[in-house]
Every structure is written in structure tokens, then in C-alpha cells.
């Protein structure tokens, strides 16, 4: 098990997410997890990445009309990016607040929509950036770094 | 205790998982009906107790390395969800008991939440 992938080729994984394509989120998380396990990454880092992917992809499926998820595996860490066309977020600070949600009853019945998605993503990320335009769409960029000491050791 | 013992204790029916799977030991349990909460708190090798029966439960259990899933209140997932459990080697059980009774019986037998 390693923290960094200094000697591993960079990898990019991409997934399309359609409107109300609710079950693709779990599949994305599951598939990326398996890929990262094959690369020999540590379990705790894989979990954090899988949670970010699950929640971010779910947000796209719930709130956007179309979007995609891109996962970049780089030597110093992993970048998870979602880009969508859709409603956008009016107030990002409010959306980040745990418990705040605009999700429908249908989403809540499925076990989501409790307003935990973005705060879960924040908790699991080392760096998080969200840009949104109402009526246009949202871009989310989350980064998880491998441990600094190992990164320097391997560099 | 083993999953087989959990099955007997909770009068559960096995939806998928062979005898070998049911010999797996369980020490930690987590009960909830929110996927985001499962992603946040579900620890590896836990028994997940839930009344949700959709495919997200299997994905969350797979991503978080749950040992098995127990559906309460007599709920049964669709055949596709059971197949997904099989494919991911996650034993699935169902019981007529509700969450509180399941947790109470397990607690009496020494099963704890992760934080204890």
C-alpha cells in the first residue's frame, strides 16, 4: 500500500451523468474505487475519494440536466471534477451548510437529500472549489493529496 | 458472532450469500436510512442495518466495505439489487423485525457501534 503514485502513469477516468441518472453515482464511485485499489493506494484515501465521487456525481444527477465527472490520478494526488449544465447554485455558502437541501421528496425517499452532500465532500477533500452560475451550471473541483512526506520521499 | 448467528438471532432470511459468507464474523454494527450518513460513518467490516432497499445501499456498502446488509421491517429489495449484492459478494439478509429490536438484540450479544 502506498500513499503516492510517483512511478505510476497518470490516469484519467471520465463518466457522463444524465439528468436523474441517480444510480450512476454509486457505479462511478465503485468503479474508481476498484481502479485505485488496483493501483495499490491506501484504503483511507480511496474511501475519501469514493465518497467525494459518490456525492458529487449524485448532485449532478439530482440538480443538473447533464454533466460529467472526471477523475485525474496524478503523482501528488487525485483531482475530482464535476461539470454540469443546469440550475446552478444561488448561494454556495448556504448550500455548503449541513442540513440545507433543495432536493425533492423522490430524492429523499432514496436516502439522499438530507443536505449532507457538499459538507461530506468538504470533509473528505484537502482542497475544494465550487463555481456556479444560476441557470447555467456548476463546476466542482475537489483535490485529495497524498501525504506530503511520502510525496517528497518519492520525488 | 457470525452472520449465521445474526441470522438466527434476528429471525432473518438470507437473500444472498453462501454458507462460507455466513461464517464471517461481525463485531460492529451501523444502522441508518441515509446514504450520505452511511458514506460518512459506515466503518469497514460493519453489519449495515437499513430499511432502504434500493441499489444505493449496495453501492454504499461496497464502497465502504460493509460485511453484510440487513433489511428490516420485512423489506425485500428487487431481484436486480440482490444480484448486485451477489456480484459484490455482500451477503444480504431480511427480517420482519424493526431497527430498534434488531439493534437491541445485537447489543445484548455484545455487538457495538463503531464509536464504542
Domain range list for chain A: 11-154
Per-residue pLDDT of A57-78, as tens digits, reads 999 999 999 999 999 999 889 9
The answer to the question of residue B115 being in a domain is: no
- Most A CBs within 10 A among B36, B62, B80, hence the mutation to make, goes to B36
Q: Which CATH number fits domain A11-154: 3.30.470.10, 2.160.20.10, 3.40.190.10, 3.30.565.10?
A: 3.30.565.10
Residues of A in contact with B88 (CB under 8 A): 30
**pLDDT at res. A10:** 84
Query: Over the stretch B9-18, which tens digit does the pLDDT of each residue have?
Result: 999 999 999 9
Is residue B1's pLDDT more than 60? yes
Is A30's CB within 8 Å of B59's CB? yes
Residue B56 lies in domain: 3-108
- Check residues B43 and A10 and name the one with the higher pLDDT: B43
Q: Residue B35 domain-assigned?
A: yes
CATH number at residue B43: 3.40.1390.20
User: Per-residue pLDDT tens for B23-52?
Assistant: 999 999 999 999 999 999 999 999 999 999
Residue-wise pLDDT for B79-114, tens only, equals 999 999 999 999 999 999 999 999 999 999 999 997
| SS3 call for B115 | coil
Per-residue buried b or exposed e for B52-74, using 16+ beta carbons within 10 Å of the residue's own CB:
bbbbbbbbbbbbbbbbbbbbbee
Residues 6+ apart with CB under 8 A from B110: B1
pLDDT value for A8: 59
Whether B114 is in a domain gets the answer no
B60–A51 CB contact, under 8 Å? no
**According to the model, what pLDDT value does residue A153 have?**
41
Residue B7 lies in a domain: yes
What are the respective helix, strand and coil percentages of chain B, to the nearest 5?
Answer: 40, 20, 40
Is residue A151 predicted with pLDDT exceeding 50? no
Q: In Å, how far are A36, A71, A140, B58, B114 from B45, measured between CA atoms?
A: 19, 27, 31, 14, 10
Residue A155 banded pLDDT, cuts 50, 70, 90: very low
What is the DSSP secondary-structure string of B58-84? HHHHHHTT-SEEEE-TT----HHHHHH
Structurally, chain B folds into a number of domains equal to: 1
Read off the pLDDT of each residue in B50-69 and give the average, rounded to a whole number. 96
What residue in A sits closest to B55 (Cα-Cα)?
A23
Residue of A34, A54, A59 to mutate for B, most B C-beta atoms under 10 A: A54
Asked, for residue B116, whether it belongs to a domain, the answer is no
- The mean pLDDT value for A33-61 works out to 94
Mean pLDDT, range B58-77, rounded to an integer: 97
Residue B14 lies in a domain: yes
Amino acid at each position: 500500500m502506498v500513499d503516492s503514485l510517483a512511478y505510476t502513469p497518470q490516469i484519467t477516468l471520465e463518466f457522463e451523468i444524465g439528468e436523474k441518472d441517480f444510480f450512476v453515482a454509486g457505479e462511478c464511485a465503485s468503479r474508481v474505487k476498484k481502479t485505485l485499489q488496483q493501483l495499490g493506494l491506501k484504503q483511507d484515501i480511496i474511501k475519501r475519494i469514493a465518497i467525494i465521487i459518490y456525492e458529487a456525481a449524485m448532485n449532478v444527477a439530482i440538480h443538473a440536466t447533464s454533466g460529467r465527472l472526471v477523475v485525474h490520478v496524478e503523482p501528488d494526488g487525485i483531482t475530482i471534477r464535476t461539470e454540469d449544465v443546469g440550475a446552478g447554485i444561488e448561494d454556495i455558502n448556504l448550500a455548503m451548510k449541513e442540513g440545507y437541501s433543495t432536493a425533492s421528496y423522490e430524492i429523499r425517499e432514496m436516502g439522499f437529500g438530507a443536505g449532507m452532500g457538499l459538507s461530506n465532500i468538504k470533509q473528505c477533500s484537502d482542497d475544494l472549489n465550487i463555481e456556479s452560475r444560476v441557470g447555467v451550471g456548476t463546476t466542482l473541483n475537489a483535490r485529495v493529496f497524498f501525504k506530503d512526506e511520502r510525496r517528497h520521499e518519492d520525488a | 458472532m457470525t452472520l449465521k448467528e445474526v441470522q438466527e438471532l434476528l429471525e432473518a432470511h438470507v437473500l444472498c450469500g453462501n454458507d462460507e459468507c455466513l461464517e464471517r464474523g461481525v463485531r460492529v454494527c451501523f444502522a441508518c436510512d441515509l446514504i450520505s450518513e452511511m458514506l460518512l460513518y459506515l466503518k469497514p467490516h460493519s453489519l449495515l442495518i437499513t430499511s432502504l432497499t434500493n441499489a444505493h445501499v449496495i453501492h454504499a456498502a461496497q464502497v465502504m466495505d460493509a460485511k453484510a446488509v440487513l433489511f428490516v421491517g420485512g423489506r425485500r429489495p428487487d431481484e436486480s439489487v440482490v444480484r448486485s449484492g451477489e456480484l459484490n459478494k455482500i451477503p444480504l439478509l431480511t427480517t420482519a423485525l424493526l431497527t430498534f429490536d434488531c439493534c437491541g438484540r445485537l447489543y445484548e450479544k455484545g455487538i457495538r457501534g463503531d464509536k464504542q
